Amino acid sequence: YEVARFLAKNRFNSVRLPLCVSHILTNQKPQQDVINIQENKAINASTYMSALSSIVQTLAFRNISVLLDMHTLTPFESGGLPWTSPTEATSFFDAVDVLTTQLCNAKHWNIIGLDLKNEPHLATWGDGTATDFQLMAQRIGNRMLSKCPTWLAFVEGINAPRTLAIDGKSFAFSDWWGGGLEEAGDKPVELGLESKVVYAPHYYNPAVYPQLYYLKSGTRAGDTIINYEELDDATLALRVQATSEHMFGHLRKTQEGALVMGEFGGLYSQDLHPMKTTQRATEALIEIMKQPGYAGGYLWALNPESAYQFNPSNTRVTTTEGLLDETWLNVNEPFLRAMAAMDSLPNLRSFPCFTP
């Protein structure tokens, strides 16, 4: 209850809950030693689905909506594709059926939809092959809608190498995992019901992976960038605008579907760049989310154990950070203050956002 109260107090109106396909299917009992039952008596941790149900209902009490996220296939396999065989496809669809059968009802009124697969970085788009995520997303989305026509289908992008000229300078890079929606303008996801697609790309800062477009100069040395020089605010903002527009922002002009950042953020308070490039990249993206055609985004992450590998761009590390600290009792105040910039998003309100 305290976490939900904190979120509502600070105007967070939606939570994306990462799920595990195998745990949905087996109804795996959560680890009891990671849940403080005395402080969280509203949580029924007897099974995976009972825990999920009680979390959704707790957030509903605070008028916070929930996006269910098909995040990993197993605890040990994230899944660069939703499936790689007919058997795996059957299991994936069975998991979708469990969610729609048990959670698509008035008791869980605040669920808005399903993120069809987190970061399908091994997928292609629109080529008609066995790895075509456009086709996979259509199959998953239609399966969801067959049992729950009220939910929305959140569709992430792929990961592919790209080249882009910005201010006369050519950059070679790969999409952020989940961010590559370049082909979706010509080859959109089309479902059996209209107005059900939400494109949900991911976009990150240099703590996830150092990109040359974030810097004025530097030399790639493996995964790091050495001898780098940082950009001024205006030029960095232009680079974030250009790359995000190339990956997914263009959909605002070619698609009727909504555009919501499925993940953004990452490391913030511990940024070791002298000019705080990691922080400024996130801040620039928040300003972009205020532009027409965007509908907000999901900060990664509330929980404190997410790890980041680069800080600053020339140094490989393992650093964790979230909106809450490792005790789950204290707030990461600099990170929270940065997110307050989202309070000026157009039409920001608690859920439900409108009444019929």
Question: Which residues are registered as beta bridge partners of 14?
Answer: 65
Q: What pLDDT, on the 0 to 100 scale, is given for residue 40?
A: 78
Q: What pLDDT, on the 0 to 100 scale, is given for residue 41?
A: 77
Whole-prediction pTM: 0.97
C-alpha to C-alpha distance for 248 and 353, rounded to whole angstroms:
25
Domains assigned to the chain: 1-213+232-310+320-344 (3.20.20.80)
- Angle at which helix 277-289 crosses helix 233-244, to 10 degrees, equals 60
For 119, 273, 311, 340, 344, the CA distances from 268, given in Å and listed in that order, are 22, 11, 10, 14, 20
Cα-Cα-Cα-Cα torsion 18, 19, 20, 25, nearest 10 degrees, comes to: 180
Q: What pLDDT, on the 0 to 100 scale, is given for residue 254?
A: 85
The segments of the chain whose pLDDT lies below 70 read 354-356
Q: What pLDDT, on the 0 to 100 scale, is given for residue 355?
A: 59
Q: What pLDDT, on the 0 to 100 scale, is given for residue 276?
A: 99
- Structure confidence by residue, pLDDT tens digits, 298-353: 999 999 999 999 999 999 999 999 999 999 899 999 999 999 999 999 889 888 87
* Contact by Cβ (8 Å): 123, 184: no
